[in-house]
Every structure is written in C-alpha cells, then in structure tokens.
Amino acid sequence: KKKKFFLKKPHFFIPLIIIVALIGWAVYSKVTQKPTFNYVKAERGTIVQEVSITGRVKPAESVDLAFEQGGKINRVNVGIGDKVYKGQVLAGLDNSILLAQLSQAEADLSVAEAKLDELKKGTRPEEIQLAETELNSAKTQADVDLQNDYDGALTAIQEAVVKGKNAILDLTDLQFKYFTGNEQDDLEISDAKRDAVLSLLGQDNAGRLATESISKLTGGAYASVQTAIQNQTHDNIDKALSDTLDSLQKVNFALNTVPIKSEFTATEKSDLSTNKTTIGASVTTVSSKEQAIASQKVTNTNNIQSAEDSLALKKAGSTSEQIVAEEARVRSSEASVQNIRAQINRTVIYSPIAGVVTKQDAKVGEIVSANTVAISLFSASNFEIEAYIPEVDVSKVAKGDSAAITLDAYGSDVDFMATVTSIEPAETIIEGVATYKTALQFNDNDSRIKSGMTANIDIQTEQKDNALKIPARAVYTKNGKRYVEILDGDVKKEIEVKTGIRGSEGDIEITEGLSEGQKIII
C-alpha cells in the first residue's frame, strides 16, 4: 500500500525532496564558506594632534593707573570712552617747582660740560694773555685802592691832631682855673696832661705848662703828621697814624680824669663834654683808617696771589687730575638732571598701551595721594582668549602652538587664528578637575572681535608628515600592551604595535609593528 501511495501521489514527494536538498546545500555552504572582515590599509600621510577647549575673549591688556606721588592735579586730558595712544599724557600734577629745579640743574650741567671741554682742549694763547692782563689789573687796582685808603687816613690824622691840640688847650684852661693845687684830682690831671702833651706835641714835663707855651709846640705826633703831609710815603703815613692814635688815646684819658665840679660854668661843662666826644670819635676814625689800610693790604695780597695762581695754572695747562675731577662733576650734574626728570615723570600719568579709557576719577584741583587708582584702560585693538586646559591635555600644549578659533557670534564658518602665549604653572580647580589657565593671542587685529565673546579653540599641538597611521579604534590594549588585528591573506592575526600621536580626525600614528599597505581589521 505504501508503494502504491508514493506512486499515486508524486506531487507530494517532489517538493519534499527539493526542501531536503536545499537544507543540505545550505548546511554544506555554511561549513565550507570563507569568513569576511572589514578592514582598512595602513597608510602614510599627515597626522595632526589637537586639543579642543572653549574660552572667552578679553582685552590683551588691562591696566589701572595712579600717580606715583601725591600732589594737586592740574590737568586731565581724557574722559571715559576716549581712545588713547601709547605714551599719551593722561593726567598730571602741579610740578612747576620741579621744572624750575630741572632748568637750574640743566644749566649747571651745561656749565660743567663747558668747563670739561675747556680743560680737555687746554689753554689758548689768548687765555694766557687775558690772565696776564687780569694780573696787571689786580696789581693796578690794589695800588689804587690802597692809595685811596692812605689818602683818607692822612686827611683824618691831619684833622685829628688839630682837634687833639685844641682839647689839651681847653683842658689847660680848666686846670689853671680849678686844679692848680696838690689834691689828688690836681695831680692826676697834671700827670695825664703831661703824657698827652709828650705824645701829641713832643714836650716832656708839660703837666703844668700854660696854654701860651703849649700852643707853640709842634713835635710828637703833630710833627709826624706834618712830615707825612710833606712826604706822602706809606711808611710816613703809617708812622703818623700810629703816633696820632697813641696820642689821641692819651688826650682822651686826660680829659676823662677831669671831675665835674659845681663851680664849672655851663660853657665849661659843655666844652669838656664836646672835647670828650670829639676826641673819642677821632680815636675811632683813626683806628678804623689804620684797620682799613691793613685790611686792604691783605685783600690786595689775596687778589694778586689769585691772579698769579690763575696765570700759572693757565700756563701749566690742565692736569689729568683736573680733568678727572671735572668729569666727576659732569656725572654728578647729569645724575641731578636725571633725578629731577624722574621726579617729574612721577607727577604725570602716561598711557602704557594703546587702548580705551574705562575709568576716570581724576579732577583738576583735587589733592590726591600716591598709588590711588585714577584712570583705568584696556587695549582697544589687541584681544586675547582666556581658557582652561584639563590636566589630561596640558602636557600636549606648549607656548607658541597655533590654534584655530571660531566665535559663537559668527558661527563655525568664520575662522580666526591665534597663538598660545602663556600657560600658568599652577592649577585652577574647576568642578573638581585640575585645569591650567592659558592665554592665546589673536594673530591679527580684527574689528569683529569683541571683549566677552565665547571662543571655540582647536590648538594644534603636534603635526607629523609622512606618518604611518590607522584608525584609532582599531587599536586595543591587552596586558598593558597595544595590539591590532591584521588580515594576512585569509587569516586574521594579532600584532603588537607601538603608537605615537593621536590625530584630531580619529587616526593614530603607528611607530612600530606595521608596514604601509597592511590590512587592519576594524
């Protein structure tokens, strides 16, 4: 019956055979089929390593300015928002006294420099001639001045001896009227008169001599004066001066020995007082004339000696010691000028940068103290970016690295270039992560760049040309080593490799273990 069934129903049997055959073929194909892999070839090319961070645009320079010393503000040249250039005077204190001191110091310096030039050039013939003329002039002037003093002295003593003789005559009249006895006053007057007459008129033992005899006397100092008048040599006048002064002092003493008696008439009292005053004044006059001559002689000697020394110095020329000393004076004068200029600079605020005034608190007439911020600036044209690099990337970045910048304000299609200018060595903790503050300077001034803009930064930390590179995802780590799988013919193999830098486009440098063209399974 079974045989009859299959024969009678072949339409059931044929599909079954086909299904079985297909299943068998599928199983056979699965067993014998070669495995397939996705791979890329190791190739050489340029690989660029970048560190990507964000930052914020800020002025490259921002400064607070103050006066270095206190004082009264006398000028303010800028206001908030004004653009300033580097070196511009922004404000200043009253420095008129310092300016006057500077003028004097500069004048002193000019004098010292001129003197030094003169010393270095040596003495000119006309300078020697001038010095000789000055010496002759000093001698001539000395003679004139001294002669004037002698002439004045001769006139004074000529008058003085006459006054002295008259005083003795008046004294004698009083003596013969009131003091002719042997009382103490009588004897003292007689002795003093004797000394005075001997000194002034050359007569001895004239203590009780009468006026008629005294009036005829012409010796003593009186005679010395007459000799000086007749022969006006300096020696004669000197002797007459000395004799006259001595005699006048004795006459003055004699007058002062006379006591005032009640019996004196008013005229006698007046004459005695007048004589005392006159002789006292004559003593002073003659003494001053004698001193004037002595002083003039010293002055003449000094002036002539100075002129002679000057002439000798000019004839000798400048010594090396003089030049060195004058050079020192020039340096001292230069230092004084520099010191005063430095003080003047401390009274002025100069702009250290080209920028814009953001703060201005200075007012004309205000008294300010040193180091109080008066004006603030930030740079108007040069901007920088302040960013923070995580510790995992900071070792890759170095000062001078280039960076491509995009600003959120202009989108990703507008690029700017910048350069890393500084990396702070101390960390800054941000949300628990150590970062390092970094500054980047824009390579070009661009009016589109504004303070406060957000910057997207790609710092190119390293670039290698003709490097062997593969996709970074093909590299894996096992037991502390790095491996890739390659396709060798139809066989998959695991190869240990050594890697270099990681590129910003997902590739990685292979330094050992692979050759160009090898198939890398990914």
Under DSSP, is residue 117 helix (H, G, I), strand (E, B) or coil? helix
The strand order across the sheet containing 71-76 reads: 348-350, 89-93, 71-76, 367-368
Please say if the pLDDT value at position 1 is more than 50: no
112 with 329: CB under 8 angstroms? yes
Burial grade of 430 (CB within 10 A; 0-12, 13-18, 19 or more)? exposed
Percent of the chain beyond pLDDT 70?
94
Tell me the per-residue pLDDT of 3-13, one tens digit each, with 9 for 90 and over.
454 455 555 55
pLDDT, tens only, 433-456:
999 999 998 888 888 998 899 999
Indicate the range of 154-158, 420-424, 444-448 predicted with least confidence: 444-448
On the 0-12 / 13-18 / 19+ scale of CB atoms within 10 A, 447 is exposed
Structure confidence at residue 100 (pLDDT): 95
**Distance separating alpha carbons of residues 303 and 313, to the nearest angstrom:** 15
Q: Where are the domains of the chain?
A: 2-32, 47-59+379-521, 103-122+320-343, 127-315
The answer to whether the beta carbons of residues 98 and 338 sit under 8 Å apart is: no
**Residue 137 Cα to chain centre, angstroms:** 47
Round to whole Å and give the CA distance between 438 and 457. Answer: 11
Whole-number pLDDT of residue 322: 78
Reduced to 3 states, what is the DSSP secondary structure of residue 71? Answer: strand
Does the pLDDT value for residue 259 go beyond 90?
yes
| Arithmetic mean of pLDDT, 466-488 | 93
pLDDT at 402 over 50: yes
Mean pLDDT of 293-319: 88
Task: Give residue-wise pLDDT tens across range 108-118.
Answer: 999 999 988 87
Q: Strand, helix or coil at 1? A: coil
d(CA 456, CA 453): 10
Does pLDDT of 76 surpass 60? yes
Asked whether the predicted pLDDT for residue 27 surpasses 60, the reply is: no
Alpha carbon 371 to its chain centroid, in Å, reads 18
Contact 149, 298 (CB under 8 A): no
pLDDT-based confidence at residue 177 (cuts at 50, 70, 90): very high
Q: Which range is least confidently modeled, 29-33, 292-296, 499-503?
A: 29-33
Instruction: With beta carbons less than 8 A apart as the criterion, state whether 279 and 251 touch.
Output: yes
Contacts of 501 by beta carbon, 8 Å cutoff, 6+ apart:
47, 49, 462, 464, 467, 508, 509
Q: Which helix (H) or strand (E) holds 4?
A: helix 2-8
Q: What is the pTM of this model?
A: 0.41
Q: What is the mean pLDDT of residues 86-102?
A: 93
Choose which CATH entry (2.40.128.720, 3.40.50.720, 2.40.30.170, 3.40.605.10) describes domain 47-59+379-521.
Answer: 2.40.30.170
Model pLDDT, residue 25:
61
pLDDT beyond 70 at 127: yes
Q: Is the pLDDT of residue 336 over 60?
A: yes
Residue among 253, 252, 208, 200 at smallest CA distance from 226 = 200
C-alpha distances (whole Å) from 497 to each of 48, 107, 478 are 20, 81, 11
Q: Is there a contact between 300 and 75 (Cβ–Cβ < 8 Å)?
A: no
Instruction: State both tokens at 188.
Output: 């003292």
Residues 39-51, mean pLDDT to the nearest whole number:
92
Please give the pLDDT value at position 451.
86
pLDDT at residue number 12: 57
Name the nearest CA neighbour of 167 among 265, 245, 250, 261: 250
pLDDT confidence tier of residue 57, bands split at 50, 70 and 90: very high
pLDDT band at 2 (very low <50, low <70, confident <90, very high): very low
Q: What is the pLDDT of residue 378?
A: 80
User: Which pair of structure tokens corresponds to residue 497?
Assistant: 């490799």
pLDDT of residue 71: 92
By mean pLDDT, which of 23-32, 122-131, 346-355, 390-399 is the weakest?
A: 23-32
pLDDT digits (tens, 9 = 90+) for 186-205: 999 999 999 999 999 999 99
Q: Where are the alpha helices (DSSP H) in 122-183?
A: 125-178
**CA–CA gap between residue 215 and residue 201 (Å, rounded):** 9
Predicted pLDDT at 381 = 62
Q: Is 249 within 8 Å of 200 (Cβ atoms)?
A: no
